[in-house]
């Protein structure tokens, strides 16, 4: 049993953003959420981490409905790496990672300070940040900041990791490093991604979202076809398999006639 979504529906600002999506990741797998801007990837992640409640359908954690659980109990199992999580606080990397121990603390103290420090040290080591632990947040590069967020999420010791476009603004090398790190972690990961090739390399399964609906799901090699990419993204693509058996997606310039470009739904939610 893990974190599962069953036929969840959510309207946001009067628009249907998640439409009867079901998600049942096998424990330990890496699931890619794919789809154009505004297709509901981020919204689905918000339902999965319990910061929003579906209007119908349920999200369950080990069989218990998420909305019936205390936030802290959710946080002990589910960690989130979101987009644009930046800070003005002059904080050191170690203290960022320590934030991940908050769900394991009481109001006035911690169950075990040693346990906390071990978890922080291990998360730093896992993400290759051990030697940067005492550096200030503002001195980190974009890739290091994302890794620090992942270290913070790992310090939470979650079983489920939700990542919203974690490779945004990273160069190719850091994109590869970050996703191979995530796919090697002993947790179930759900990652919203834009890059189909990266999804093909690192995800065990992908789910394609289009206007809130899951239109295809399964292993990348079965799901990512030229027809599907044309239909969902409105672009021409050539999908092949390289000599090492890996799926490759090549895009052709020029939109398809039927494409409807970016729709107003793509606008980020108003806060």
Of residues 94 and 211, the one with the C-beta less far from other proteins: 94
Q: Which one of 84-92, 203-211, 244-252, 257-265 is the stretch in contact with other proteins (CB under 8 A)?
A: 84-92
Hey, what are 90's tokens?
A: 């002059």
190 binds other proteins (CB under 8 A): no
Separation between Cα atoms, residue 199 and residue 206, nearest integer Å:
7
Choice from 4, 39, 54, 116 touching other proteins (CB under 8 A): 116
Of residues 91 and 215, the one with the C-beta less far from other proteins: 91
213 binds other proteins (CB under 8 A): no
The site that binds other proteins (CB under 8 A) totals a number of residues, namely 43
Separation between Cα atoms, residue 165 and residue 32, nearest integer Å:
10
Hey, what are 148's tokens?
A: 């620090």
Separation between Cα atoms, residue 205 and residue 250, nearest integer Å:
20
54 binds other proteins (CB under 8 A): no
Separation between Cα atoms, residue 226 and residue 72, nearest integer Å:
43
Helices 172-184 and 142-155 pack at an angle, to 10 degrees, of 10
261 binds other proteins (CB under 8 A): no
Of residues 50 and 220, the one with the C-beta less far from other proteins: 50
Minimum CB distance to other proteins, residue 159 (Å): 14
Of residues 117 and 265, the one with the C-beta less far from other proteins: 117
Minimum CB distance to other proteins, residue 14 (Å): 14
The two beta strands, 205-210 and 30-34, are parallel
Burial class (CB in 10 A: 0-12, 13-18, 19+), 56: exposed
Choice from 30, 39, 43, 49 touching other proteins (CB under 8 A): 49
Alpha-carbon dihedral sign for residues 24, 54, 191, 205: positive
Separation between Cα atoms, residue 103 and residue 120, nearest integer Å:
13
Site string for other proteins, 149-188 (x = CB under 8 A): x------x-----x--------------------------
Q: HSE (CB half, 13 Å, CA atoms) of 93?
A: 26
Kindly list the residues in this chain that would bind other proteins in the complex (CB under 8 A). Answer: 49-51, 70-76, 78-80, 82, 85-92, 94-96, 99-100, 102-103, 105, 107-108, 113-114, 116-117, 134, 138, 149, 156, 162, 270-271
């Amino acid at each position: 049993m893990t974190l599962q979504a069953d036929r969840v529906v959510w309207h946001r600002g009067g628009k249907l953003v998640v439409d009867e999506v079901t998600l049942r990741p096998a424990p330990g797998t890496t699931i890619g959420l794919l789809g154009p801007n505004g297709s509901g990837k981020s919204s689905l992640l918000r339902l999965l981490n319990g910061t929003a409640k579906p209007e119908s359908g349920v999200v369950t954690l080990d069989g218990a409905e998420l909305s019936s659980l205390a936030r802290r109990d959710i946080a002990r199992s589910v960690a989130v790496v979101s987009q644009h999580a930046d800070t003005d606080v002059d904080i050191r990397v170690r203290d960022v990672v320590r934030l991940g121990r908050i769900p394991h603390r009481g109001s006035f103290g911690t169950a075990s300070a040693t346990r906390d420090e071990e978890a922080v040290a291990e998360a730093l080591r896992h993400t290759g940040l051990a030697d940067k632990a005492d550096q200030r947040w503002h001195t980190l590069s974009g890739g290091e900041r994302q890794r620090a967020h992942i270290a913070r999420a790992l310090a939470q010791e979650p079983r489920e990791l939700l990542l919203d476009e974690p490779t945004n603004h990273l160069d190719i090398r850091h994109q590869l490093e970050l996703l191979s790190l995530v796919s090697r972690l002993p947790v179930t990961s759900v990652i919203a991604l834009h890059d189909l090739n990266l999804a093909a390399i690192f995800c065990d399964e992908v789910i394609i979202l289009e206007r809130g609906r899951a239109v295809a799901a399964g292993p990348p090699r079965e799901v990512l076809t030229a027809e599907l990419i044309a239909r969902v993204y409105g672009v021409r693509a050539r999908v092949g398999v390289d000599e090492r058996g890996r799926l490759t997606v090549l895009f052709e310039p020029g939109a398809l006639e039927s494409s409807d470009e970016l729709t107003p739904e793509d606008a980020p939610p108003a806060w």
